[in-house]
Amino acid sequence: MKVRSLFAFSILLSAISGTANATTYSLPENSNDSVITEFTDDVPLMRAEQSETLPDVARRFLLGQTEIVRLNPEVDRWHVKKDEIVRLANKRILPDTPHEGITLNIAEYRMYYYPPTQKGTAPQVMSYAHGIGRQDWKTPLGKTSIVRKVKDPSWHPPESIRREHAANGDPLPAVVPPGPHNPLGAYKMHLAVPGGYLIHGTDIDKIYGIGMQITHGCVRMYPEDIEALYHSVPVGTSVYMVKQPIKVGWLDNTLYIEAHPDLEGEETTLDQKLDVALKLIQKANIARDGVYAAGQSETGTAQNMPEFDREALKQALTVLDGNPVALYQRLL
């Protein structure tokens, strides 16, 4: 793993404060590629400058708690010692959705926003960590849109949530006014989904729950992230809510796979994951072959599976750390 070059860079990034915004990526120059990269190092690392927790690191680098824990299975979640090395996220494979509006991939607790491309600028995508619905309050799937936006909202807890809190000895008022302890945070955006589902901020008491399966079905974001998104997207913006724990994509003629664990309450076997992955690999290869069939030379037919690294595939589907793994490189 490459440690040397990011240490100086991590000192700069560690200064990120509560005013930081989303991680912004340039989309690949090749429109058929779908892997985005933040750092030049394949495995970016940082050295802890003080004793802290993995959620502290996640907060500073705008990652989710589940994500940072998966990337650092050997690090104590609640005690990162001074000078200990922490692995950060780098490459991501874009979900298989249109590159427009917002995509929520609940399987990875992450949102992708494709802002309109300005004339003379390269297309970009902004990525945000977010929390999703618990096993018994699942976040819905499907295409929807933002229908209303509200700044400094009051929270009117639904009767079902009030009953749940009362049963746990934590009764809720009928209305929670705006402020630092409002669970909706400072901004909320209504989705055109029956049941009152929202994209919203968080209160100071639950800020470390971003990137976890913890909400009553809504999508919860870091305060600075929801603020940036709120001011960026207009009412009517399309929202694609998908569950893609396994993603496959190309970058510079290299095929990658990214695999995430099952959500709580769900369980798929390694064989089931392998079946999904093989279909995605074949789909990606057929799409790539179509490009070559349009005029470039490439050996084989669209129906052939590439001779990819099957051990790397099995490892990715076993470790499930969300880190894209290279499976195959085309020879031009």
DSSP 8-state class, residue 181 = T
**Nearest residue to 110 via CA among 70, 56, 53:** 70
Show Cβ contacts of residue 283 under 8 Å, excluding neighbours closer than 6 positions. Answer: 248
Structural Rg of the chain based on CA atoms: 21
- Residue 269's Cβ-side half-sphere holds a number of Cα atoms within 13 Å equal to 3
- Which is the catalytic residue, given 200, 216, 231, 260? 200
Residue 200 is a catalytic residue: yes
The DSSP H or E segment spanning 163 is helix 159-167
SS3 219: strand
Give 74's pLDDT tier (boundaries 50, 70, 90): very high
Tokens of 278: 């093989």
Identity of the amino acid at 286: I
Contact between residue 124 and residue 111 where contact means Cβ atoms under 8 Å apart: no
CB atoms within 10 A of CB 203: 18
Q: What sign results for the dihedral spanned by CA atoms 292, 37, 243, 72?
A: positive
Q: Are strands 35-36 and 92-93 parallel, antiparallel or unpaired?
A: antiparallel
Show Cβ contacts of residue 142 under 8 Å, excluding neighbours closer than 6 positions. Answer: 193, 241
Model confidence at 305: pLDDT above 80? no
- Which is the catalytic residue, given 130, 190, 216, 218? 218
pLDDT digits (tens, 9 = 90+) for 182-219: 888 899 999 998 877 889 998 888 788 888 866 656 78
Model confidence at 89: pLDDT above 50? yes
Which pLDDT score is estimated for 197? 86
Which pLDDT score is estimated for 297? 37
96 vs 104, 239, 268, 280, CA distance in Å?
A: 11, 13, 20, 10
Residue 216 is a catalytic residue: no
DSSP-assigned beta bridge partners for residue 127: 23, 112
Contact between residue 176 and residue 155 where contact means Cβ atoms under 8 Å apart: yes
What average pLDDT is seen over the chain?
Answer: 82
The CA distance from 201 to 53, in Å, is: 22
The CA distance from 264 to 320, in Å, is: 14
Domain ranges of the chain: 131-236, 248-329
**Nearest residue to 33 via CA among 254, 307, 268, 264:** 254
The CA distance from 54 to 48, in Å, is: 10
Identity of the amino acid at 27: L
pLDDT digits (tens, 9 = 90+) for 263-279: 888 899 999 999 999 99
CATH topology of domain 131-236: L,D-transpeptidase catalytic domain-like (2.40.440)
Scan for tokens 């427009």, then name that residue: 100
7 vs 23, 65, 73, 85, 88, CA distance in Å?
A: 19, 22, 21, 10, 12
Identity of the amino acid at 50: Q
Of residues 17 and 180, the one with the higher pLDDT is 180
90-104, 246-260, 301-315: least confident range: 301-315
DSSP 8-state class, residue 269 = -
**Nearest residue to 80 via CA among 63, 55, 44:** 55
DSSP-assigned beta bridge partners for residue 299: none
Indicate the pTM of the whole model: 0.84
Give the phi and the psi of residue 280 in degrees, each rounded to 5.
-70, -40
Which pLDDT score is estimated for 20? 43
